[in-house]
Amino acid sequence: MIIRKATSKDAQFISPLLLLAMQDIVFQIIGMKQENKALEFLLHFIKKENNQYSYQNCFVAEENYKVIAAVNLYDGSKLKELRKPIIEYVHKCFGTNLQIEDESGPGEYYIDSLGVSPSWQGKGVGTKLLQFLINEYVNLNKQTLGLLVDENNPNAKKLYLKLGFSPVGKTLFLGKHYDHLQIKG
């Protein structure tokens, strides 16, 4: 398995993987529960630069030249500027005035979402992606990685804790309760 920085050409493969991880959130952002609209929304932004979901903020895992997993992360201090194009797009295209809490902020690189192809789930791919990020950001660059984990997902939380993340607080995000976890460099 190869883990590499994503390119704009990966967008069509990244969007369904990220949607696996954040379908309910995207449905809330676009104001409808339509998978095709959610995929279009993600694809639109993953292909572009300078936004929260941009390919610039993604890594992919490949096996035999096929993208099998993707992770989206960015500098939490840039959240507002990265989110601005999304808020403007949602207002223009969906007619809603999106009000969304900040899930990250200064002092951490935020793992927004991580999705693994269903045929590769349960084979350690997500763990390897997380270990890659921990090595790159925490071990080599002495940064802090952060993420939110749904309080109703104890298996994911258990994995993050096993990898070295620690609880730093609780967050209410789009009506759901999450544990905020970090691993510091």
Looking up residue 81, the CATH number of its domain turns out to be 3.40.630.30
Tell me the pairing of strands 2-5 and 58-63.
antiparallel
| pLDDT tens by residue, 46-74 | 999 999 999 999 999 999 999 999 999 99
With bands split at pLDDT 50, 70 and 90, how would you rate the model's confidence at 7?
Answer: very high
Lowest mean pLDDT segment, chosen from 14-23, 133-142, 170-179 = 170-179
| Average pLDDT score over the chain | 95
Mean pLDDT over 103-122 rounds to 96
DSSP string, 64-85: TTEEEEEEEEEEGGGHHHHHHH
Compute, in degrees rounded to 10, the torsion defined by CA atoms 46, 30, 87, 169.
Answer: -90
Which amino acid is it at 36? N
Q: Give the length of the chain.
A: 185
Number of domains in the chain: 1
Global pTM?
0.94
Q: Which domain holds residue 61?
A: 2-183
Distances (CA, A) of 52 to 14, 118, 122: 14, 24, 27
Mean pLDDT over 89-106 rounds to 89
Q: Residue 126 has which token pair?
A: 């997500």
Predicted confidence at residue 109, as pLDDT, reads: 98
Q: Is 145 helix (H, G, I), strand (E, B) or coil?
A: strand
Phi and psi torsions of 134, nearest 5° = -60, -45
Q: What percent of the chain has pLDDT over 70?
A: 100
**Alpha helices in the chain, H assignment, sequence order:** 11-30, 35-47, 79-94, 125-133, 154-162
Angle at 68 between CA 65 and CA 69, to 5 degrees: 130
Edge-to-edge strand list for the sheet holding 66-75: 2-5, 58-63, 66-75, 109-116, 145-150, 176-183, 166-173
